[in-house]
Structure 1
Amino acid sequence: MKAVFIACDQAHHEDVLTLLTHFNCRGYTAFGQVTGRGSQTGDPHLGSHAWPAMNEAILTVVDADLVPRLLEALRALDERSDQLGLRAFVWSVEATV
């Protein structure tokens, strides 16, 4: 099992959920409003007067064999709207309850 952490502009919310549904990733946790700034490009998303955009984060745990296809779909979504920003990170899951 792998944990996939997705940080993205809130405008991606519905599209990310559509991808998770498409890949049968039923379980996830969404963190509604998070702030941040990309490490290489893009504007900060701080929810302030100067930087009003906001991010969100979604964490899902999926079978390891699904990860490459999910990441490719997320990459394609990011490339369609590269000014919004979307990043995904993958960790190994040691155990679940």
Structure 2
Amino acid sequence: MAGKDRKKQLARQRYERQEQRRQAQAARARRMKVIGSAVGVAVIAAAGVGIAVFAGKDDKSKADGPDAAATPSAKPGSAPTPRRRARPGRRRTSGPRR
């Protein structure tokens, strides 16, 4: 009878190990599902913001069409401020200085 009891004990231990492994796999699957859902929501939200930003830029460019050029935006008689130009032969590089 001792051999039969030992077999039952080993079978019970094996079942408990398998059950722990199944629970760990189920927990990992739930965690991955939550992470995947959060990433999906973030991607959709970013796409919505991007579309809103680009759609807003299109509206502004249409408003600055030929009709907008006919209306002066600066005060009459005021000269535009001159812009500073870069010196020729000097280019900025992102590499190290020599």
TM-score, reference length from structure 2: 0.20
| Greater helix share, structure number | 2
Which structure would you say has the larger RCO, counting Cα contacts within 8 Å and 6 or more residues apart? 1
Larger C-alpha radius of gyration, 1 or 2? 2
